[in-house]
Amino acid sequence: MRRTFFFLFATAVLAFAVDPPSIHGDWHMLQAADSEAPVPNHRVDLRFKTVNGTLQGAVLNRNNGSEMPLALCDLRGDTLRFQMTAPAGQSQAAIPIMVMTLAGDRFEGAWNTVPGPRFKLVRAQK
């Protein structure tokens, strides 16, 4: 009985870590002080989904809807980390990582490198 419970619990934890349904969909990344209504034009639109059991993210092009994949996309517990893909000729290690923590129905955080502005990630309205 204990083994069965432990196995089911571990499976549920892994399933949430690999396939977190709460993050799936389109989001707007705004500066923390920005109003959400109306959503400002100076924002970054992101999409998160699971592909082959792995969480993936992309920056959305608002002109044509194309996706530019993120180099890193990781959600563990309440902490979301993502990193833009480095431009050609630039080291991926030089690109900062956004670290955000779940705060109610949004994520809040900042780049991991230097002190700077804080950001929030809010679900895109349809």
> What predicted TM-score, i.e. pTM, was given to this entire model?
0.79
Per residue in 4-20, pLDDT (tens digit) is: 434 333 333 333 444 45
Residue type (1 letter), 14: L
Distance (Å, whole) CA 43 – CA 114: 20
Q: Tens of pLDDT along 27-70?
A: 999 999 998 888 888 899 999 999 999 999 999 998 998 999 99
Could you give the number of structural domains in the chain? 1
Which domain, by its residues, includes 114?
2-123
58 strand-pairing partners: 47, 69
Closest CA to 30 of 124, 125, 95, 120: 120
CATH number of the CATH domain containing 106 = 2.40.128
